[in-house]
Amino acid sequence: MGFLVAGILASSLALIFLDIRGLHPSEGKLAMAYELARLTLCFQLGGLYSDLRHRLPLKFMVVVGLLAVMVASVETPLFAPVASIAVAYAAMWFAFVPDGEWIAWTRSAPDYSYGIYIYAFPIQQALIAAMPAVSPLSTFALGFCMTLVPAALSWHFVERPAITHKQLRSLQARTKWSEPLASSSNGKSPG
């Protein structure tokens, strides 16, 4: 956990330094360093939450406080790290409090997220290559619609069958190991 905290501090300091230097996400050659520091911070916050999930209090007033600090830090070098922390905490609160009931419907819905993650980038790049003058909003809208098709096919014909197969194999393995135990407890020898 100490490594994660050190990484979060280093990423935050890198973001603050780059902001002070005027290297915002869309400017200059070091824009990649800015995005790398920001995304690294988000990844590290997820890791820290995983480590602290049983000890981290998820309170609505903390969400409100963090969002207020985020709004107050707009147009300052502190905005990127503060916003990352506030949004990460708010996302955890929305997902798990109160018991995640408001998003319970998603547990029975098809999970296209992995397919969207895998197929969105190549589809968007193909759109940009085919239509160089396409706007970012059009790229997003067309790319999203076009990505849903392979994502849905991937879920229904690859991912869900693989998950079902894995669950069946696991159940079979547990049943196979429990049968000899059940037989030996009845006084019968396995075999």
SS (H, E, C) 51-85: HHCCCCCCCHHHHHHHHHHHHHCCCCCCHHHHHHH
**pLDDT range class, residue 175, cuts 50, 70, 90:** confident
Q: Against a cut of 0.85, is the pTM above it?
A: no
- Residue 160, pLDDT score: 92
Which of 60, 58, 52, 135 minimizes the C-alpha distance to 92? 58
Rounded percentage of the chain residues whose pLDDT exceeds 90:
37
pLDDT digits (tens, 9 = 90+) for 53-100: 788 888 889 999 999 999 999 988 888 889 999 999 998 888 777 666
Give tens-digit pLDDT for 115-158. 999 999 999 999 999 999 999 999 999 999 999 999 999 999 99
> What does the block give as tokens for 133?
């003058």
Based on its alpha-carbon atoms, the radius of gyration of the chain, rounded to whole angstroms, reads: 24
33-51: pLDDT as tens digits:
777 888 888 888 888 888 8
